[in-house]
Amino acid sequence: MNACRLAVVLVLALPACSLSRGTDGLASAESGRRRALEYGVLALEAGDYRAAMERIAPVAAICPTDELGRSAMLLLATAELDPRNPGRRPDAAAELAAFQLARRSEGQWEGAAAARLYAIALDYGAEPLTAAEIPGPVVIWDRYLTDPGVAEAPIGADASDGTPTDEDVDQAQRADRATNAVSHAADGGPRCEVVQADPEVVLPELTEAPMALRSAPAPAQPAPSQSASGGNSAELQAEVDRLRAELARKEQELDRIRRTLRP
Protein backbone atom coordinates (compact mmCIF):
# COMPACT_ATOMS: atom_id res chain seq x y z
CA MET A 1 0.00 0.00 0.00
CA ASN A 2 1.49 3.37 -0.93
CA ALA A 3 2.09 5.89 1.83
CA CYS A 4 -0.51 8.33 0.57
CA ARG A 5 -3.27 5.70 0.68
CA LEU A 6 -2.07 4.77 4.15
CA ALA A 7 -2.59 8.40 5.15
CA VAL A 8 -6.18 8.30 3.91
CA VAL A 9 -7.00 5.08 5.73
CA LEU A 10 -5.34 5.88 9.03
CA VAL A 11 -5.79 9.49 9.88
CA LEU A 12 -6.67 12.51 7.84
CA ALA A 13 -9.06 11.31 5.12
CA LEU A 14 -7.18 13.29 2.51
CA PRO A 15 -8.31 13.46 -1.09
CA ALA A 16 -7.27 10.34 -2.98
CA CYS A 17 -3.73 10.40 -4.24
CA SER A 18 -3.43 10.89 -7.94
CA LEU A 19 -1.05 8.37 -9.47
CA SER A 20 -1.33 9.71 -13.03
CA ARG A 21 -1.28 13.51 -12.91
CA GLY A 22 1.60 13.83 -15.37
CA THR A 23 5.00 15.43 -14.97
CA ASP A 24 3.61 18.83 -13.93
CA GLY A 25 1.70 17.31 -11.01
CA LEU A 26 4.67 15.24 -9.88
CA ALA A 27 7.00 18.22 -10.05
CA SER A 28 4.54 20.32 -8.04
CA ALA A 29 4.20 17.63 -5.37
CA GLU A 30 7.96 17.22 -5.05
CA SER A 31 8.39 20.99 -4.89
CA GLY A 32 5.82 21.20 -2.09
CA ARG A 33 7.55 18.47 -0.08
CA ARG A 34 10.93 20.10 -0.57
CA ARG A 35 9.62 23.47 0.61
CA ALA A 36 8.04 21.85 3.66
CA LEU A 37 11.38 20.23 4.46
CA GLU A 38 13.18 23.54 4.09
CA TYR A 39 10.71 25.26 6.41
CA GLY A 40 11.21 22.44 8.90
CA VAL A 41 14.97 22.96 8.85
CA LEU A 42 14.49 26.68 9.44
CA ALA A 43 12.24 25.90 12.41
CA LEU A 44 14.89 23.53 13.80
CA GLU A 45 17.55 26.20 13.51
CA ALA A 46 15.23 28.61 15.31
CA GLY A 47 14.77 26.10 18.14
CA ASP A 48 11.03 25.56 17.46
CA TYR A 49 11.11 21.77 17.57
CA ARG A 50 7.37 21.22 17.57
CA ALA A 51 6.81 23.41 14.51
CA ALA A 52 9.75 21.74 12.79
CA MET A 53 8.31 18.27 13.33
CA GLU A 54 4.89 19.38 12.08
CA ARG A 55 6.47 20.41 8.79
CA ILE A 56 8.94 17.57 8.41
CA ALA A 57 6.72 14.64 9.44
CA PRO A 58 4.26 14.97 6.51
CA VAL A 59 7.19 14.90 4.08
CA ALA A 60 8.24 11.55 5.51
CA ALA A 61 4.66 10.26 5.72
CA ILE A 62 4.01 10.72 1.99
CA CYS A 63 6.91 8.42 1.12
CA PRO A 64 9.43 7.49 3.83
CA THR A 65 11.76 5.63 1.47
CA ASP A 66 12.36 8.10 -1.35
CA GLU A 67 15.16 10.66 -1.14
CA LEU A 68 13.09 13.39 0.53
CA GLY A 69 11.39 10.92 2.86
CA ARG A 70 14.67 9.43 4.04
CA SER A 71 16.08 12.87 4.78
CA ALA A 72 12.90 13.82 6.63
CA MET A 73 13.00 10.66 8.75
CA LEU A 74 16.59 11.30 9.78
CA LEU A 75 15.94 14.97 10.51
CA LEU A 76 13.13 13.93 12.83
CA ALA A 77 15.53 11.54 14.56
CA THR A 78 18.12 14.29 15.09
CA ALA A 79 15.43 16.56 16.56
CA GLU A 80 14.34 13.79 18.94
CA LEU A 81 17.93 13.46 20.19
CA ASP A 82 18.84 17.13 20.45
CA PRO A 83 19.59 17.92 24.12
CA ARG A 84 18.10 21.37 23.56
CA ASN A 85 14.71 19.88 22.68
CA PRO A 86 12.65 19.83 25.89
CA GLY A 87 10.37 17.15 24.42
CA ARG A 88 13.11 14.91 23.05
CA ARG A 89 12.28 11.19 22.80
CA PRO A 90 15.23 8.85 22.30
CA ASP A 91 12.87 5.90 21.80
CA ALA A 92 11.21 7.68 18.84
CA ALA A 93 14.63 8.46 17.37
CA ALA A 94 15.62 4.79 17.68
CA GLU A 95 12.46 3.69 15.81
CA LEU A 96 13.01 6.20 13.01
CA ALA A 97 16.66 5.25 12.59
CA ALA A 98 15.89 1.53 12.73
CA PHE A 99 13.22 1.96 10.04
CA GLN A 100 15.88 3.34 7.70
CA LEU A 101 18.52 0.79 8.68
CA ALA A 102 16.18 -2.09 7.86
CA ARG A 103 15.66 -0.65 4.37
CA ARG A 104 19.10 0.67 3.53
CA SER A 105 20.70 0.13 0.14
CA GLU A 106 24.34 -0.62 -0.54
CA GLY A 107 26.37 2.58 -0.36
CA GLN A 108 23.40 4.72 0.71
CA TRP A 109 24.74 7.49 2.91
CA GLU A 110 21.51 7.67 4.92
CA GLY A 111 22.26 4.20 6.27
CA ALA A 112 25.52 5.37 7.82
CA ALA A 113 23.76 8.35 9.41
CA ALA A 114 20.90 6.16 10.66
CA ALA A 115 23.34 3.72 12.30
CA ARG A 116 24.96 6.52 14.30
CA LEU A 117 21.64 8.08 15.25
CA TYR A 118 20.39 4.70 16.45
CA ALA A 119 23.52 4.22 18.59
CA ILE A 120 23.18 7.71 20.06
CA ALA A 121 19.51 7.00 20.86
CA LEU A 122 20.55 3.88 22.77
CA ASP A 123 23.18 5.87 24.62
CA TYR A 124 20.50 8.38 25.62
CA GLY A 125 18.37 5.62 27.12
CA ALA A 126 16.26 4.16 24.29
CA GLU A 127 15.49 0.45 24.53
CA PRO A 128 17.26 -1.69 21.90
CA LEU A 129 14.99 -3.05 19.17
CA THR A 130 14.95 -6.50 17.64
CA ALA A 131 14.43 -7.01 13.92
CA ALA A 132 10.82 -8.03 14.62
CA GLU A 133 10.20 -4.79 16.57
CA ILE A 134 11.32 -2.42 13.81
CA PRO A 135 8.23 -0.38 12.90
CA GLY A 136 6.69 0.11 9.48
CA PRO A 137 5.65 3.43 7.88
CA VAL A 138 2.85 3.81 10.42
CA VAL A 139 5.49 4.97 12.93
CA ILE A 140 5.26 8.46 11.39
CA TRP A 141 1.53 8.65 12.03
CA ASP A 142 1.77 7.14 15.50
CA ARG A 143 4.52 9.51 16.59
CA TYR A 144 3.66 12.77 14.85
CA LEU A 145 0.40 13.00 12.90
CA THR A 146 -2.15 11.73 15.37
CA ASP A 147 -3.05 13.21 18.75
CA PRO A 148 -5.03 10.90 21.07
CA GLY A 149 -6.04 13.89 23.17
CA VAL A 150 -7.93 15.49 20.31
CA ALA A 151 -10.56 12.75 20.33
CA GLU A 152 -11.39 13.31 23.99
CA ALA A 153 -12.95 16.74 23.45
CA PRO A 154 -13.60 19.01 20.46
CA ILE A 155 -10.63 21.19 19.61
CA GLY A 156 -11.23 24.76 20.77
CA ALA A 157 -13.58 23.89 23.63
CA ASP A 158 -12.41 24.14 27.21
CA ALA A 159 -13.69 21.32 29.41
CA SER A 160 -14.75 23.72 32.14
CA ASP A 161 -16.94 26.40 30.54
CA GLY A 162 -16.69 25.89 26.78
CA THR A 163 -14.46 28.94 26.27
CA PRO A 164 -11.57 28.30 23.86
CA THR A 165 -8.19 28.63 25.49
CA ASP A 166 -4.94 29.80 23.90
CA GLU A 167 -3.70 26.22 24.04
CA ASP A 168 -6.84 24.97 22.26
CA VAL A 169 -6.48 27.54 19.47
CA ASP A 170 -2.79 26.75 19.12
CA GLN A 171 -3.57 23.03 18.90
CA ALA A 172 -6.18 23.64 16.21
CA GLN A 173 -3.78 25.79 14.19
CA ARG A 174 -1.07 23.14 14.41
CA ALA A 175 -3.49 20.43 13.29
CA ASP A 176 -4.56 22.58 10.33
CA ARG A 177 -0.96 23.19 9.28
CA ALA A 178 -0.13 19.49 9.42
CA THR A 179 -3.25 18.59 7.42
CA ASN A 180 -2.55 21.26 4.80
CA ALA A 181 1.07 20.21 4.49
CA VAL A 182 0.12 16.60 3.80
CA SER A 183 -2.69 17.61 1.43
CA HIS A 184 -0.41 19.86 -0.57
CA ALA A 185 2.37 17.29 -0.78
CA ALA A 186 -0.01 14.48 -1.67
CA ASP A 187 -1.81 16.35 -4.44
CA GLY A 188 -0.52 14.87 -7.66
CA GLY A 189 2.05 12.82 -5.75
CA PRO A 190 3.87 9.84 -7.25
CA ARG A 191 3.37 6.24 -6.25
CA CYS A 192 5.47 5.37 -3.24
CA GLU A 193 6.82 1.86 -3.14
CA VAL A 194 7.85 1.32 0.47
CA VAL A 195 10.83 -1.02 0.55
CA GLN A 196 10.26 -4.11 2.66
CA ALA A 197 12.33 -4.37 5.82
CA ASP A 198 15.24 -6.80 5.85
CA PRO A 199 14.19 -9.50 8.36
CA GLU A 200 17.86 -10.28 9.02
CA VAL A 201 19.03 -6.73 9.63
CA VAL A 202 21.56 -6.38 12.45
CA LEU A 203 21.13 -3.18 14.42
CA PRO A 204 24.10 -1.45 16.09
CA GLU A 205 24.90 -2.26 19.70
CA LEU A 206 26.67 -0.19 22.33
CA THR A 207 30.12 -1.26 23.43
CA GLU A 208 29.58 0.03 26.96
CA ALA A 209 26.70 0.88 29.28
CA PRO A 210 24.42 3.72 28.10
CA MET A 211 25.38 7.20 29.21
CA ALA A 212 22.10 7.36 31.16
CA LEU A 213 23.46 4.60 33.41
CA ARG A 214 27.04 5.82 33.47
CA SER A 215 25.91 9.23 34.70
CA ALA A 216 23.46 7.88 37.30
CA PRO A 217 24.21 8.94 40.88
CA ALA A 218 26.37 6.46 42.75
CA PRO A 219 24.90 4.72 45.80
CA ALA A 220 25.33 6.64 49.02
CA GLN A 221 28.59 5.84 50.75
CA PRO A 222 29.63 6.40 54.35
CA ALA A 223 30.99 9.86 54.92
CA PRO A 224 34.73 9.80 54.08
CA SER A 225 37.37 11.08 56.36
CA GLN A 226 38.58 14.61 55.79
CA SER A 227 41.78 13.34 54.19
CA ALA A 228 39.90 11.23 51.65
CA SER A 229 37.21 13.78 50.79
CA GLY A 230 39.55 15.87 48.70
CA GLY A 231 40.44 12.90 46.51
CA ASN A 232 36.79 11.86 46.11
CA SER A 233 35.79 15.37 45.09
CA ALA A 234 38.53 15.45 42.48
CA GLU A 235 37.41 12.09 41.07
CA LEU A 236 33.77 13.23 40.90
CA GLN A 237 34.75 16.45 39.16
CA ALA A 238 36.84 14.51 36.65
CA GLU A 239 33.86 12.25 35.90
CA VAL A 240 31.57 15.27 35.47
CA ASP A 241 34.07 16.86 33.09
CA ARG A 242 34.34 13.62 31.12
CA LEU A 243 30.56 13.33 30.75
CA ARG A 244 30.27 16.96 29.68
CA ALA A 245 32.94 16.44 27.04
CA GLU A 246 31.16 13.30 25.83
CA LEU A 247 27.84 15.13 25.60
CA ALA A 248 29.50 17.96 23.67
CA ARG A 249 30.93 15.44 21.19
CA LYS A 250 27.48 13.94 20.64
CA GLU A 251 25.97 17.38 20.10
CA GLN A 252 28.66 18.10 17.49
CA GLU A 253 27.89 14.79 15.77
CA LEU A 254 24.16 15.60 15.70
CA ASP A 255 24.88 19.05 14.26
CA ARG A 256 27.14 17.51 11.60
CA ILE A 257 24.43 15.04 10.60
CA ARG A 258 21.81 17.79 10.53
CA ARG A 259 24.00 19.92 8.22
CA THR A 260 24.42 16.92 5.93
CA LEU A 261 20.64 16.44 5.79
CA ARG A 262 19.84 20.02 4.83
CA PRO A 263 17.92 20.01 1.50
Please give the mean pLDDT across all residues of the chain. 73
pLDDT at 224: 54
pLDDT at 223: 56
Helices (H), 1-104: 3-7, 22-45, 49-62, 67-81, 90-101
pLDDT at 190: 56
Percent of the chain whose pLDDT exceeds 90: 37
pLDDT at 79: 96
Rg (CA), the chain: 22
Is residue 71 within 8 Å of 263, Cβ to Cβ?
Answer: yes
pLDDT at 166: 53
Neighbours of 235 (CB within 10 A): 10
Average pLDDT score over residue span 111-125: 94
Segment 193-242, tens digit of pLDDT: 877 889 889 999 998 888 877 766 656 555 555 554 555 777 777 777 78
Query: Of 34-48, 72-86, 229-243, which gets the smallest average pLDDT?
Result: 229-243
Average pLDDT score over residue span 108-113: 86
pLDDT at 102: 93
Quick one: pLDDT band at residue 243, thresholds 50, 70, 90? confident
State yes or no: pLDDT of 175 exceeds 60. Answer: no
Q: Return the closest-CA partner of residue 37 out of 69, 5, 7, 9.
A: 69
pLDDT at 20: 38
Percent of the chain whose pLDDT exceeds 70: 65
pLDDT at 197: 87
State yes or no: pLDDT of 98 exceeds 80. Answer: yes
Q: What are the residues whose beta carbons fall under 8 Å from the beta carbon of 180, sequence distance 6 or more? A: none
- In terms of Cβ atoms closer than 10 Å to its own Cβ (0-12, 13-18, 19+), residue 8 is middle
Is residue 155 within 8 Å of 176, Cβ to Cβ?
Answer: no
pTM assigned to the model: 0.63
Average pLDDT score over residue span 124-149: 83
Query: Of 57-61, 127-131, 175-179, which gets the smallest average pLDDT?
Result: 175-179
